[in-house]
Structures are given as structure tokens and as C-alpha cells.
Amino acid sequence: MDLIRIKNVEKTYKTGVTAIYDLSLNIEKGEFVFIIGSTGCGKSTLIKMLYREEKPTSGIINIGGINVSKLKNRNVYKIRRKIGVVFQDFKLLPKLTVYENVAFALEIFGLPTSEVHSKVIKSLELVGLKHKAKNYPHQLSGGEQQRVAIARAIVNGPKLLICDEPTGNLDESTSMEIMKVLEEINKLGTTIIMVTHDTEIVDKMKKRVILLDSGRIVKDYKEGEYVREDI
């Protein structure tokens, strides 16, 4: 069953630059998909439209039954509550502890405190940071901070996890740790879309890979098909 249906989507910015041309794409529930391509190929624009930071100029984006392309600004939170997003720069709140950063995403729904607690602990356990719950973000390494960000993204059990260059700021071994965490989350049933330019990781993971160039899909590799060329 398809979780994401993108149909004839086009995105032209107000500046007149067209980032995405007539793009159609389906992603099934439980898939792990990499989106790769050179800088400026439109991969960031594409995922920004998925979590409705940007609105497509034309076309339809449907995620789990919600027409994201038609969502009004004040209703954006409806889709944000169904998906998790992870960024290159972590986007943690520096004044909140690890626990509070993760709990934050649940408390706005008005969940009972005991439920918040058990979910946060479960989520932190999954990323292996339960013992750092009381630390502040600046006391953690980059990899740990990213794991906190992942814990926050998945704490309310989203169907979809969007990762925008999650390993961009991290070294190789830390990056692989993050990938292990993501794979684990994927195994538990969450669909993952990850944008990256780190082809080494993509090569190792053997997942579906979508190659973008100048706002168009040039190649859609099935699981295990992708082979890194530039070695």
C-alpha cells in the first residue's frame, strides 16, 4: 500500500526558479528510500514539500490520506503530528534537557504525564541515550545530539520519518551508528525517506535510491540495485 503519492508536482519559487518539474513518485508503507543528487537538484525542495514547509505550485501530494499540497498554514500542524523530521543541524532546544526536548513533542497533545514518560523513555532507549536524559544538548556529542533529534521525531510513533542530511555534520563511524538506529526504526514499521549526498552510506545500505537531477527523477533504483560509481 502506498503511504506517499506524489502526482505531477511542480514547484516554482517566487524568484522564478523552478526546482521541481512534473514529478510523480509513489512510496510504499515501510519502505526505506534514499534521495540523492548533486547540490541544487531539488531534493531539499522535494522533502520540504512533504512536511509542508513549502507548497507545490501545482500537482498533488498525498501522505497517508492527507492532501498536504492543499493544507493551509494554520493547519500545517496536522501533518507535522503524523510525521517526524530530522535535520542536519539537529534543531534541539538548547535550554531544554534531552528528556524535555523529546517530551516536548508529546506534551503539546495533552497526553497524560505517565504516558509521556513511558514513551519518552522508550524512544530514548531505542536510540540508546536513556542514561543522558538529564543532560543538556551542549553536553552531548554531535552523534548523540542527532540521536536525540531522532528520538524526538519518532516519539509519537509517526508513519513517516523524513531525514534531511542527518549525517551531514558527522564523521563516518558516527554516521553509521545513526544509520543503524534508522534501520532499526524502519524495521519497526516506520517508512523512512532520507536525503543525502553521502553515496558511501547509500552504497552500504542497499535500499531503494532515487536519483534527482535538475528537478527531475533520472533514476529510481530498486532495493540493492544501486552501485556507487565514482570509486
Partner 1 sequence: MFVKIFRILGRNIRDSFKSVFRNFSLSLASIACIVITLIVVSIAMILSFNVNNFTKAVERDMTIVAFLNRDISLERIEEIKDEINVINYVESFTFEDKMTISEEMMEESSDFDSILGKYEQREDNPLLDAFQIKVTDINQIENVANQISEIDGVYNVKYGEGMVEQLVSVFDIVKKISYGVVIALVIVTAFLISNTIKITIFSRKREIEIMRLVGASNINIKIPFIFEGLFLGLFGSVIPVLVTIFGYEALYNTFNGQVISPFIQLIVPLPFTYFVSIALIAIGILVGMFGSWRAVKKYLKI
Helix (H) or strand (E) holding 225: none
Query: Do residues 19 and 9 touch, judged by C-beta distance below 8 A?
Result: no
Please report how close the Cβ of residue 4 comes to partner 1 at its closest, in angstroms. 18
Please report how close the Cβ of residue 169 comes to partner 1 at its closest, in angstroms. 17
Residues in contact with partner 1 by CB under 8 A are 51, 73-74, 76-77, 80-81, 85, 91-93, 95, 104-105, 107-113, 152, 156
For partner 1, the closer CB: 16 or 112: 112
For partner 1, the closer CB: 92 or 209: 92
Q: What is the DSSP string of 140-198?
A: S-HHHHHHHHHHHHHTT--SEEEEESTTTTS-HHHHHHHHHHHHHHHHTT-EEEEE---
Please report how close the Cβ of residue 100 comes to partner 1 at its closest, in angstroms. 9
Please report how close the Cβ of residue 47 comes to partner 1 at its closest, in angstroms. 13
For partner 1, the closer CB: 39 or 73: 73
Strand order in the sheet with 2-12: 18-28, 2-12, 58-63, 66-67
For partner 1, the closer CB: 91 or 131: 91
For partner 1, the closer CB: 92 or 217: 92
Please report how close the Cβ of residue 213 comes to partner 1 at its closest, in angstroms. 28
Q: What is the DSSP string of 50-110?
A: HTTSS--SEEEEEETTEEGGG--GGGHHHHHTTEEEEETT----TTS-HHHHHHHHHHTTT
